[in-house]
Chain A
Amino acid sequence: MAPHRSDLWEREDTPPETTPAAPPVPPAPAADAVVLPAIKDAVASGVITGLLLLPLVGFRATESGSGPLTLTYRFGLVAVFALLVAGLRLVLNLTLWRPGRKIRDNRSAGLAALSAKVAPAARPAFFALALLYPLLAVTLSGGLSPSRYWVDLGIYILTYVMLGWGLNIVVGLAGLLDLGYVAFYAVGAYTFALLSTSVPLNAFFDAHVAEGFWASWSFFVCLPMAGILAALWGVILGFPVLRLRGDYLAIVTLAFGEIIRLVLINWVSLTNGGAGISSVPAITFFGVPFNGNDDGFAARFGLDYDSMHRMIFLYFIILGLAALTALVTIRLRKMPVGRAWEALREDEIACRSLGINTTLTKLTAFATGAMFGGFAGAFFAVRVRFVSPESFTFMESAVILAIVVLGGMGSQMGVAAAAILLIGGMEMLRNLSFLKASFLFGPDFDPSLYRMLIFGFAMVAVMVWRPRGLVANRMPTIFLKQRKAVSGALVKEGHG
């Protein structure tokens, strides 16, 4: 190398980092000057709220059968609302809206530093918790049967974690907006349901292998097939549409999701239409059925029969599938194809100018994401033992996409956290029975009806405060000497 090269590229002198001088802070007003107006304001807004709500909420005309309208009074509820508003305003006036309050810029930086510290421990901690979850559920709820609800909830959440991770490959890594992901979920579910209930297949294996072989082994045989078929459908969809970008791709995938559902409804001879396919065989412990018979799981392992054994086994199956999704994604991200996905999301033209076959890259992303959707679908079918088109509506796609977006696109831990918050949170809303107290909403009130409303509020809140998703940091997949997180706050929304 030419010796003069180094001086060609002399560094421009960068001035030493100086912390900007703190702007002059107006002297904080005396406590009285803050607290007194705050209380006044709170009382005033409480009174106004009470007056406003008195006619709106305080009186309620109810029809009692065929009789006349009767007026019920709900002054307690009005008082609760008024107090809520007054209290909230008081708190806000004293904290966020306090006059002369210093605005700290380093709050998000502190948060980023904290999350960077927590991040390395988060993954093993999360996995360990997921492994121990059934044990915790059984111990804390005091027995196998009482823990049914909690284990079921865990299975439910993990299904969405897995779906989120699968869609994350397509949306988060490759940047292809897919609004019809549920189609691949449906393909997986129907693949397993149709194959396992197929009469000729059952008869064939009864005749050639062993009686009842297909019913007990079909899940393990069909699981890879469900993934492969879903991936195949991903390729079939991908070929014509992947020249589209952004909004256009989203619309076509949306349509694809609906088409699959309509086909499932209308192809009655194959799918039994809207009635769905029932009596899908239950999962077995690798051929050993979960029942009370002498050759059942409990008898073989010297346990007392309990239907929860099957649930706990299902839990570990979905945990394994989700872990597989995560591992494959992590591995792929380190491989050229994974990096090509990320580059594709960043800039398609630049990718092509570096010699990357963008069509092939998109197809692999689509097919890989679809495959995990198919796995999850097969699992869904074996868990519920019943599939019908009703389970695969656009709402499902929307929820999965919301999980990916809220979690911070591309971030595995973020997606997992978002799935737990959204699915677990929506489930928790069923348990808000204190709202049924007579002075609040009355016994007829069903909090779960408000799930979607609260869901919407939560999405708005996340997008306002963490516009780049819950986990906005992105660890470089490859690095020179040390891994350094790069905060999403440094780039514009939707790119961090």
Chain B
Amino acid sequence: MSATAPATPLLAVRGVKTYYGNIIALKGVDVDIHEGEIVTLIGANGAGKSTLMMTICGAPQARDGTVRFAGRDITRLPTHEIMRLRIAQSPEGRRIFPRMSVYENLQMGAALEGGSHFAADLERMFEMFPRLKERIHQRGGTLSGGEQQMLAIARALMSRPRLLLLDEPSLGLAPLVVRQIFDAIRLLNETEGLTVFLVEQNAYHALKLAHRGYVMVNGVITMSGTGADLLARPEVRSAYLDGGH
């Protein structure tokens, strides 16, 4: 399934340094994501995974280095303009709109897309996540955790993104639901060629799913390679997979 790498990557992160006040969170990170790839970033708590994802979205902005998307420098763009380049994000903790219905949540996702494909996209999402169709009139806040995650992903997909950023979609979910969500991501990648950047704690599942992976430790990328390659490495196994699977 591994995509043949085109000359320029869809998303290129080069030497990015991000600070929270005086505290450095990313100490010069390089990440490439090519069109049609699933790339995962794994690492321990506090390694800077979510910070990298948020830096790509421009909140906080990188103090040093560049982020280029489809050849365009987006390092200094405000978040909403970055998102208009058709990068979609399912943020950490899902962040669906709790008082709005499932339908309204999905419509918010299509806010950028303008609504021309809304009905078709809605059908697509319901086909992928039939649960959402059953819950269409329910408030987002009344959904279960797994349903909320499905909603968050579906909402991100409603904008027909070129790049989907997923921050810890497996957080707090039962293994069965995690598998469902990961299956959906794989399916989207296989059938529609969706490019996915996945930040995960659940290293085993993430590496099995991804074409390529990066390992982050204390704000630095320490290892990279294909998913299978990383899975096989003893240091990855001992640090992130021990006692697990």
In the complex, A120 has a CB within 8 A of chain B: no
Complex Cα distance A486/B98, Å? 12
Interface residues of B in 73-117 (CB under 8 A from A): 78-81, 83-84, 88-89, 91, 95-101, 103-104, 107-109, 111-112
In the complex, B8 has a CB within 8 A of chain A: no
Please name 20 further chain A to chain B contacts, defined as beta carbons within 8 Å, in addition to the given A2-B187, A356-B111, A496-B99, sorted by A numbering: A5-B187, A339-B107, A342-B104, A343-B97, A349-B91, A350-B96, A353-B57, A353-B79, A353-B91, A354-B83, A354-B112, A354-B159, A355-B84, A355-B159, A476-B137, A478-B107, A490-B141, A491-B141, A491-B142, A495-B99
* In contact, B97 and A8 (Cβ under 8 angstroms): no
Q: Closest approach, in angstroms, between the C-beta of B54 and any C-beta of chain A?
A: 9
* In contact, B104 and A477 (Cβ under 8 angstroms): yes
* In contact, A1 and B139 (Cβ under 8 angstroms): no
Complex Cα distance A356/B141, Å? 21
Complex Cα distance A418/B176, Å? 48
Provide 12 A-B residue pairs closer than 8 Å at the C-beta atoms, listed in order of the A residue: A1-B191, A6-B127, A343-B100, A346-B98, A346-B99, A347-B97, A350-B91, A353-B95, A354-B88, A355-B111, A476-B100, A486-B137
Residues of chain B within 8 A (CB-CB) of A491 are: 98-99, 139, 141-142
In the complex, B171 has a CB within 8 A of chain A: no
* In contact, A9 and B129 (Cβ under 8 angstroms): yes
Interface residues of A in 1-26 (CB under 8 A from B): 1-2, 5-6, 8-9, 11-12
Partner of A354, one of B78, B108, B142, B176: B108
In the complex, B14 has a CB within 8 A of chain A: no
* In contact, A355 and B137 (Cβ under 8 angstroms): no
* In contact, A352 and B59 (Cβ under 8 angstroms): yes
Known contacts A350-B97, A479-B137; A355/B83 CB under 8 A: yes
Number of B positions contacting A (CB below 8 A) = 45
Complex Cα distance A478/B104, Å? 7
Number of A positions contacting B (CB below 8 A) = 38
Among residues of A, the one whose C-beta sits closest to the C-beta of B141 is A491
In the complex, A484 has a CB within 8 A of chain B: yes
Chain B residues with a Cβ under 8 A of chain A: 57, 59, 78-81, 83-84, 88-89, 91, 95-101, 103-104, 107-109, 111-112, 127-131, 136-139, 141-142, 155-156, 159, 176, 180, 183-184, 187, 191
* In contact, B107 and A476 (Cβ under 8 angstroms): no
Known contacts A9-B128, A357-B80, A495-B99; A343/B108 CB under 8 A: yes
Residues of chain A within 8 A (CB-CB) of B180 are: 8-9
Residues of chain A within 8 A (CB-CB) of B59 are: 349, 352
The CB with the most chain B CB atoms within 10 A, among A340, A345, A346, A496, is that of A346
* In contact, A347 and B80 (Cβ under 8 angstroms): no
Among residues of A, the one whose C-beta sits closest to the C-beta of B94 is A350
In the complex, A336 has a CB within 8 A of chain B: yes
Residues of chain B within 8 A (CB-CB) of A347 are: 95-98
Residues of chain B within 8 A (CB-CB) of A98 are: none
Cβ-closest 10 pairs across A and B: A355-B83, A346-B97, A350-B95, A484-B137, A353-B89, A355-B112, A352-B79, A357-B80, A476-B101, A491-B141
In the complex, A148 has a CB within 8 A of chain B: no
* In contact, A352 and B80 (Cβ under 8 angstroms): yes
Among residues of A, the one whose C-beta sits closest to the C-beta of B190 is A2
Residues of chain A within 8 A (CB-CB) of B156 are: 353
* In contact, B142 and A490 (Cβ under 8 angstroms): yes
Residues of chain A within 8 A (CB-CB) of B81 are: 355
Residues of chain A within 8 A (CB-CB) of B139 are: 486, 490-491
Q: Closest approach, in angstroms, between the C-beta of A109 and any C-beta of chain B?
A: 15
In the complex, A480 has a CB within 8 A of chain B: yes
Complex Cα distance A128/B129, Å? 45
* In contact, A353 and B83 (Cβ under 8 angstroms): yes
Among residues of B, the one whose C-beta sits closest to the C-beta of A353 is B89
In the complex, A358 has a CB within 8 A of chain B: yes
